[in-house]
Amino acid sequence: MNFREKLRGITQENNSLLCVGLDIDSEKIPDFLFKNSNDPYFEFNKSIIDATKDIVCAYKLNMAFYEVLGIEGFILLEKTINYIPKNILIILDGKRNDIGNTAKKYAKAFFETFNADAITINPYLGKDGIVPFLDYKDKCSFILCRTSNPSAGDFQDLNFANKPLFSIVATKIKEWNIFDNCGAVVGATYPNELKIIRKKLGDNIPLLVPGIGKQGGDISTTVKYGTNKKKEMAIINSSRGIIYASDDKDFADSARKSALLLKNEINLYR
């Protein structure tokens, strides 16, 4: 089953566009887990997955939070990926980029070694740094287009012949989408840009939308501008706002409640 089919299946099955970010952080996960468990990080991820697997369409694992733990982090990454139910999408958020010869190795690492359904990649190197990822036709590569951070505009807003860079990147994403396996990353914190990009990409390219919750993106405009005509094809991510909703023994219950609230609010605007 390819990425598109899996996305369609789980969006319908769980009636959800919500993606939960499993951004494990030693400073934020409940203290008691470190006392009670031999494997506190995995215990945390397992509990969050158990509590939310009927609510989400995807889990996103940001590589930074695993790399910082060194070898232990990669064991954790592998165990977490194996624990996620097969019907739910796994997005590995690594924002990788390199020259063709090396990008091929990253593509193999993420799609084969780690077995992700989808990844994030950075477009700065141009087409030949992107193509090796697109050779995995059944997967999805979400290309950074407009990021959610405050400085996103430093380069992404520069105008080239009256078109901002992020819009030129969007045009390229549409051009590169020969195998129907491109996606775009667009931050919910920039609703106008989200609107422009969705319009440019048409109805058939999925968007990965971070930036709601702690980062402040608005849910109604995210759904309005981020989804396609069928009110699908947007994967709306929240990490900290859900998984760290409580830092006490009720953390999994609190995560479930926050995820359910967010899923329902998203659906309200669909």
Active site residues: 95
**Cβ at position 227, least distance to a second copy in Å:** 23
Smaller CB separation from a second copy, 93 or 117: 93
Distance CA 110, CA 92 (A): 7
Contact 86, 113 (CB under 8 A): no
Distance CA 208, CA 239 (A): 13
Distance CA 101, CA 171 (A): 25
SS3 83: helix
Smaller CB separation from a second copy, 35 or 150: 150
**Cβ at position 7, least distance to a second copy in Å:** 24
**Cβ at position 112, least distance to a second copy in Å:** 8
Contact 87, 59 (CB under 8 A): no
Look at residues 99, 203, 112, 188 and name the one whose alpha carbon lies nearest to residue 145. 188
Distance CA 222, CA 202 (A): 16
Burial class (CB in 10 A: 0-12, 13-18, 19+), 112: exposed
Smaller CB separation from a second copy, 25 or 265: 25
Contact 206, 140 (CB under 8 A): yes
Smaller CB separation from a second copy, 128 or 248: 128
Enter the tokens of residue 187: 């931050």
**Cβ at position 83, least distance to a second copy in Å:** 16
**Cβ at position 173, least distance to a second copy in Å:** 12
28 CB neighbour count, 10 Å cutoff: 13
Query: Which residues form the interface with a second copy (CB under 8 A)?
Result: 23, 25, 62, 64-65, 67-71, 74-75, 78, 95-100, 102-103, 105-106, 108-110, 112-114, 122-129, 144, 147-156, 158-161, 165, 168-169, 172, 215
Smaller CB separation from a second copy, 165 or 266: 165
Phi, psi of 173 (to 5 degrees): -60, -45
